[in-house]
Amino acid sequence: MTTTACATETATGASATGDDPTTETALKDHAPTDDRAEDPPDAAAPTDPAPADATARDPATTDSPEGAPEGPEGPEPPAAHHTPHVPVVPRDPFPITADGGYAARLAPYGDSGDAWCAERWTLDGPEPYAVPLPVGQPEEYDTGVLPMADGRVLVQRAVEGRQLFSLLYPTGPGTGELPLGAVESTRLRLLPPSPIGSHAYALAVGPRSTALWLVAGGAFGPEHLAELPGRCTGGVWLDRAGRMLAVDQELDGRTKTVAVDLERGGEVSALLQITEESNDRLLLADAASGLILVRSDAAGHDRLGWGVLGSTLPVRFPECLRLADCAVTPFAIQPGQALMPEHCAVALRVDGAAGTWIGLWRPMERRVQHFAAPTGWLAGSGLWTTDGVLQLPYATGLEPCGVAQLPAPPPREPEPTPDPVPEPVAAPRPVPLQQASRTGQLALPRATSRT
């Protein structure tokens, strides 16, 4: 693994303004179809949905790395790279534009370190760097930030039951601010950056429905686009055109992922259903390969699974993604693997009693490989290059802006006939960063356990 420290530009405070298929799976097609050869499933094939007309209303075992000792209570990450446990928070701590050019976060600012301001990171230049964007007064801790493709940063501020939106941008020594307008809501959350880099969207949850808003990129400030039935959360883009949005819709006590067509007035159609009684949520999707990562309690408890948009095969739930006493959350899928979803590398955030570290996994492999996170990692954030290098942003007192690079180990063919292991496996000790090969490859652990 290599690290790149970023320069930080200074601005003043002046403001210019083993798989376990379920018994039944429905995975609806919202991407080009392509059936692929996999193990014969036990589940029924999905069917394509027939979207109904909708009208918007007014808003209301993992392998242990070589030489990694494990104690009776489980592994301990290397002390030098220990990252304290970070609880899950509702806001994305480090959203990255769809093209990977910019990112943004709310960062400490000022001599005391107890003030906050928006901070923009540039990731696509010769060397990544950060620019603080302070305005007349410090931001509140719950201020939302979202990078735009043109380098500006959208901020969302809650003020007396309203959500105020502005675009911030550097103007020499100061910060420019362009007010966009406000939305009357106390429960509005920004969605991940859109593939249309000039647009930004948000969901406002109401008592019986959820309002979908275009908060940046409209002609006259924030625009109400649609009213979606039920309580909608999540938010995953299904295509590279910024038309199809997947959200997790809670209706009658059950949560299912549905697709929202933004070009048809927010028309809603079913996307994911494991069983009628299960809660099924979409976590990640890659438009090129069609690979999706889901979480479902169809087996009686939450499990991570994977599937392919447009495929007639079911969602599969690998045993290797079950780690005892650990929370596993996928946060990035390797792009550029067209028609080869099984070969996509997936980055996982693993949270356990020992701390937080990185897991790497491919659907074609029945194992997860574990690596220590860089010190100061902005946990849960990162992006892949097309050639399989995971970029992990981090910030420390000495390096307020840095990006560590973790090359994915080359794919390995899965074992032909692995025996199933019903019990979750213990999480092995992550590989220390200094053990990564200097030639761009990481040392591969030997296969010592089954999935």
Q: Tell me, what CATH number does 417's domain have?
A: 2.130.10.120
Quick count: other Cβ atoms within 10 Å of Cβ 88? 10
The pLDDT, as a whole number, for residue 54 is 33
Tell me whether residue 77 is in a domain. Answer: no
Tell me whether residue 269 is in a domain. Answer: yes
β-pair type (7-8, 129-133): parallel
- The reported pTM is 0.76
Owner of token pair 């103007």: 171
Burial class of residue 359 in the structure, from the number of CB atoms within 10 Å of its CB (0-12 exposed, 13-18 middle, 19+ buried): buried
Backbone phi, then psi, for 373, in 5-degree steps? Answer: -80, 150
Q: Which residues pair with 179 in a beta bridge?
A: 166
Hey, is 391 helix, strand or coil? strand
Nearest-angstrom CA–CA distance, 189 and 373: 28
Tell me whether residue 270 is in a domain. Answer: yes
| CA 205 to chain CA mean position, Å | 21
The pLDDT, as a whole number, for residue 173 is 86
The pLDDT, as a whole number, for residue 78 is 39
- Give the CA radius of gyration of the chain: 22
- The enclosing H or E element of 122 equals strand 115-122
The pLDDT, as a whole number, for residue 130 is 96
Token readout for 220 is 């006259």
Token readout for 40 is 């014969």
Quick count: other Cβ atoms within 10 Å of Cβ 247? 24
CA angle 419/420/423 to nearest 5° reads: 135
Tell me whether residue 42 is in a domain. Answer: no
Cite the beta strand spans of 153-279 per DSSP E: 153-159, 162-171, 174-184, 188-190, 200-205, 209-216, 223-229, 231-237, 244-251, 254-261, 267-273
Nearest-angstrom CA–CA distance, 316 and 293: 10
Token readout for 171 is 């103007």
**Residue ranges in the chain whose pLDDT is less than 70:** 5-92, 113, 413-451
DSSP 400-444: SSEEEEEEPPPP-PPPSSPPP--SPBPPPPPBPGGGS-TTS-PPP
Tell me whether residue 393 is in a domain. Answer: yes
| CA 131 to chain CA mean position, Å | 23
Tell me whether residue 380 is in a domain. Answer: yes
Running DSSP on this structure, what letter comes out for residue 90?
Answer: S
Q: Do 111 and 396 touch, CB atoms closer than 8 A?
A: no
Among candidates 281, 243, 279, which has minimal Cα distance to 263? Answer: 243
**CA terminus-to-terminus distance, the chain:** 27
SS3 content of the chain, % helix, strand, coil (to 5): 5, 40, 55
Quick count: other Cβ atoms within 10 Å of Cβ 435? 17
The amino acid at 114: D
| CA 367 to chain CA mean position, Å | 21
The amino acid at 178: L
Token readout for 61 is 């075992």
Q: Do 193 and 160 touch, CB atoms closer than 8 A?
A: no
Q: Which residues pair with 74 in a beta bridge?
A: 71
Q: Do 70 and 62 touch, CB atoms closer than 8 A?
A: no
Dihedral sign of CA atoms 354, 358, 362, 367 in order: negative
**What is the number of domains present in the chain?**
1
Nearest-angstrom CA–CA distance, 381 and 12: 28
Nearest-angstrom CA–CA distance, 26 and 347: 25
The pLDDT, as a whole number, for residue 58 is 37
Tell me whether residue 70 is in a domain. Answer: no
pLDDT in tens, 248-287: 999 999 999 999 999 999 999 999 999 999 999 999 999 9
The pLDDT, as a whole number, for residue 195 is 97
The amino acid at 229: P
Residue 6 belongs to what domain range?
2-12+21-33+56-60+82-435
Tell me whether residue 426 is in a domain. Answer: yes
